[in-house]
Amino acid sequence: MVSVLPYGRQSIDDDDVAAVVEQLRSDWLTQGPTVGRFEEALCAITGARHGVAVANGTAALHIACLAAGVRTGDVGVTSDITFVASANCVRYAGGEPSLVDVEPETGLLSVSALESRIAELGRAGRTTKVILPVDLAGSVADLPAVARVAQRAGACVIEDAAHSLGATYEHEGTTFRAASCAHSTMAILSFHPVKHITTGEGGAVMTNDDGLYRELLDLRTHGITKDPSRLEANEGPWWYEQRRLGFNYRITDLQCALGLRQARRLPAFLARRREIAARYDAAFSSGDLRLQMTPLRVPSRTRSAYHLYVVQVRARAGEGLAEVAERRRALFLHLRARGIAPQVHYIPIHRQPDFVRSGFARGDFAGAERYYAGCISLPMFPAMTDADVDRVIEAVREGAPR
């Protein structure tokens, strides 16, 4: 297939194309019935009661923060290892993001670091309004533990499930689905082409709460409602009211026509992602490679949806992070020279200049620094053949510094 192997890419087939063409010839390009049908498909996949599909995952994060009531001066806590959108959404709502360290072996939010941060914020008289755990690479964060901390703090949990559509986790003998909102107030999804299913750009907020659902619908469309039971006046069938300041964050029916088709293909996508992960895992857990590289640990409580396949360059005895990072850099460049386009997920947010200005200090994130120094995301997408996977493994074997 493609000559350069990217870390992720969409799979679009002829039926996907036909579905979009059919939608183009229909009465509805936007604000039509396909949006609702796509939202129903998302509810069926995740098990959440409501879904509000929007223009992208970042918009989903933004309106989720607003619906959760984030206001000027409120604090929203998220992981230091995530895409910047998970923290920016708190700022869009006028709040202040606070970053928490991760477990270096999983890259997931450290619950003990979360607890101490919230205690610290409390002592400083700050209100933690939302906690945004991130399901990095497709493993679900420890949501039941985060939910306990949130409950004590009086905060909402917004699960950033952009990586975890189709993942599950166990808690007290029961299996739960990512973005089901069993242990969160809301969850967000993204349908960017590298994610599990795509609409080009797209996202959604899932929730089990009827009131939040109505609020999210309003926020997606300018803060406007036409729901007769919520109007202050009603002068006729044309009547609508803007109840609060919202946005045009709508997704189109064209996009949802693609999304619906992609949702039907999700089980096959997930199965293939897991096969690819198993092939990588086998290679990295045997022979010489076992000494050079360690796959990102997937906690036993969760079954990953493998949005990403992350491996870590192993630190040698006595080696510092700078040396590990240098070997990761060499491996990255070697792969690039071999026609493979890996990526690094993610540069710790506290290192971004726009966040450094807010006073985040490197020393506070020892787990994130350790995670970041060695991590590299290898190609992982459903259309990869076994030969593609073997080509990547071979290139890592050549490029892994001895």
Give dist(CA 192, CA 9) in Å, integer: 9
Tally the residues of the chain: 402
Among 192, 196, 303, 328, binds ligand PLP (CB under 6 A): 192
CA distances from 397 to 282, 286, 288 (A): 13, 12, 8
The catalytically annotated residue of 62, 195, 220, 328 is 195
Under rule CB under 6 A, residue 382 binds ligand PLP:
no
For ligand PLP, give the closer residue by CB, 10 or 292: 10
> If residue 366 lies in a helix (H) or strand (E), which one and from where to where?
helix 366-374
Residue type, 74: D
For ligand PLP, give the closer residue by CB, 117 or 163: 163
For ligand PLP, give the closer residue by CB, 246 or 399: 246
7: its two tokens: 């870390």
Query: Segment contacting ligand PLP (CB under 6 A): 9-17, 112-120, 156-164, 326-334?
Result: 156-164
Instruction: Give Cα 305 to chain centroid, integer Å.
Output: 11
For ligand PLP, give the closer residue by CB, 270 or 396: 270
Residue 124 has a CB neighbour count (10 Å cut-off) of 8
Among 7, 83, 213, 372, binds ligand PLP (CB under 6 A): 83
For ligand PLP, give the closer residue by CB, 284 or 346: 346
Q: In what side-by-side order are the strands of the sheet with 75-79?
A: 50-54, 203-207, 186-190, 156-160, 128-132, 75-79, 96-100
Query: Segment contacting ligand PLP (CB under 6 A): 24-32, 155-163, 207-215, 362-370?
Result: 155-163
Among 80, 96, 159, 160, binds ligand PLP (CB under 6 A): 160
- Residue 294 Cβ, how far from ligand PLP at the closest point, in Å? 22
- Residue 78 Cβ, how far from ligand PLP at the closest point, in Å? 9
Number of residues that bind ligand PLP (CB under 6 A): 14
Q: Tell me whether residue 226 is one of the annotated catalytic residues.
A: no
Q: Is 229:243 a contact under the CB 8 Å cutoff? A: no
The residues in 343-362 that bind ligand PLP, with binding defined as CB under 6 A, are: none
For ligand PLP, give the closer residue by CB, 78 or 180: 78
Give dist(CA 247, CA 66) in Å, integer: 11
User: Closest Cα partner for 163 from 9, 350, 304?
Assistant: 304
Among 46, 82, 164, 225, binds ligand PLP (CB under 6 A): 82
Q: What is the largest CA-CA distance in the chain?
A: 76
84: its two tokens: 């910047």
Give dist(CA 66, CA 357) in Å, integer: 24
Give dist(CA 373, CA 328) in Å, integer: 7
- Name the H helices within 57-209: 57-67, 85-92, 111-123, 143-153
Among 19, 45, 63, 85, binds ligand PLP (CB under 6 A): 85
- Residue 228 Cβ, how far from ligand PLP at the closest point, in Å? 33
Under rule CB under 6 A, residue 88 binds ligand PLP:
no
**Footprint of ligand PLP on this chain (CB under 6 A)?**
56-58, 82-83, 85-86, 134, 160, 162-163, 190, 192, 203
Residues forming the active site: 195
